[in-house]
Chain A
């Protein structure tokens, strides 16, 4: 029930509301809990509300970590 997915903020539609998109699926959401949200941000959407802004720098750190692990595994498995 605490399911939430990242969606991109593509439009501000009113005071504290906006439109988000994930892979072509668009929906209107309430932004009052993420007052810092800017157009182009990825928001974590739960039950029609933005509950947090995705930190892209942290997301990149995770991807870098996973890439390092993958490359190390590949070189081990190839050896």
Chain B
């Protein structure tokens, strides 16, 4: 696109958003479900475009943020008890557990390997053999098939020292809980999760809850377009699901990717920071892939973990509180010395507020 068109298009969309908001008296609150959207919204300063009565709150779609402290503890215990090498995405390294983070473990001589792609885990496991190599399985529907495909490769190669500690999550169960909240009026739906699960599968939002949802891309103009459509659907009182990311998201998603996931994993209950245990919101290894289950095959006693009571990540993840209302924000909790995961993750809401400000 001609670069001079970008600010003009942004002003056009912002103008429409403002006009639509002027036609309603109450405050309209939308939730951006995905952490990558949270970061994009803040880094582009999009909130400065919005009128007073339009509020965007962040949701639970930051996998590091919704992962419980106990998961970090579990990983560290595996490293200590079994001399395991931990394989992880970079986002998780500095998240504080009860007895330090993976960074602490590494500083103490533990083995922590950071990867860009889960597929690297197969090679790492072969290098580390006979020591167990444990891939920390954190992520939503977008990331899950990449780990599942890795395990299919590991099974074919008969790699017997690779394990996965699963904290995988799926988005529909928490979204149903959040959709029931009266103070949320619509949802900016995650672009890349939807690339896998499709845009059709959100029909329960309008059907069961009378709320609209718009699937959005990640460019600033994509997000403005999606917000305009959300507010339009709200003002018109005609809730439905709109896909504004059609260049990537199909109505039926990516069946090949879902097939990989279904081959390797099955739904199970999962515990979310901020939301507690949600039935059917996690994924567990099944069939021949059960042999890779770290929790089953490398048993350790993992005590219950207490979150710092001053940390408000739980309320922030459900859109009940903004980070600037947390007493620790920017004082006791900074990206350099974080207390909660929302300040650690590159797409955490607190990190976004800290880096770019509240507006």
Contact = CB atoms under 8 A, between A and B. Distances in A.
A47 B254 contact: no
Contact of A44 (B13, B89, B192, B193): B192
B300 interface: no
Tell me the interface secondary structure of chain A in the complex. mixed
Interface stretch (B43-51, B112-120, B267-275, B278-286): B112-120
A48 B1 contact: no
Interface string A54-79: 11101101110011011111100100
A69 B257 contact: no
A38 interface: no
A66 B220 CA distance: 12
A19 interface: no
A67 B2 contact: yes
A3 B190 CA distance: 11
B256 A44 contact: no
A8 B111 CA distance: 35
Given A1-B143, A47-B143, A48-B117, A70 B247 contact: no
Interface size class of A (residues with CB under 8 A): 20 to 34
A73 B149 contact: no
A15 to B, nearest CB: 12
Contacts of A33: 145, 149, 254, 256-257, 260
Given A3-B36, A51-B254, A70-B9, A63 B248 contact: no
B143 A2 contact: yes
Contact of B1 (A61, A67, A74, A77): A67
Interface residues of B, number: 51
Interface string A19-42: 000000000001011110000000
A55 B34 contact: no
A30 B119 CA distance: 9
B345 interface: yes
Given A32-B256, A52-B254, A66-B5, A2 B116 contact: no
Contacts of A2: 34-36, 61, 139-140, 142-143, 190-193
B116 A4 contact: no
B91 interface: yes
B119 to A, nearest CB: 5
B95 interface: no
Interface of B: 1-2, 4-6, 8-9, 11-13, 15, 34-36, 61-64, 89, 91, 116-120, 138-140, 142-143, 145-146, 149, 190-193, 195-196, 221, 246-250, 254, 256-257, 260, 345, 347
Top 10 nearest A-B pairs (CB, nearest first) are A48-B117, A70-B8, A70-B5, A69-B12, A2-B192, A58-B247, A59-B247, A2-B142, A58-B246, A73-B12
Given A48-B117, A52-B249, A67-B1, 13 more contacts: A1-B138, A2-B34, A30-B119, A33-B145, A47-B118, A51-B145, A55-B246, A61-B246, A63-B1, A66-B6, A67-B5, A71-B8, A72-B12
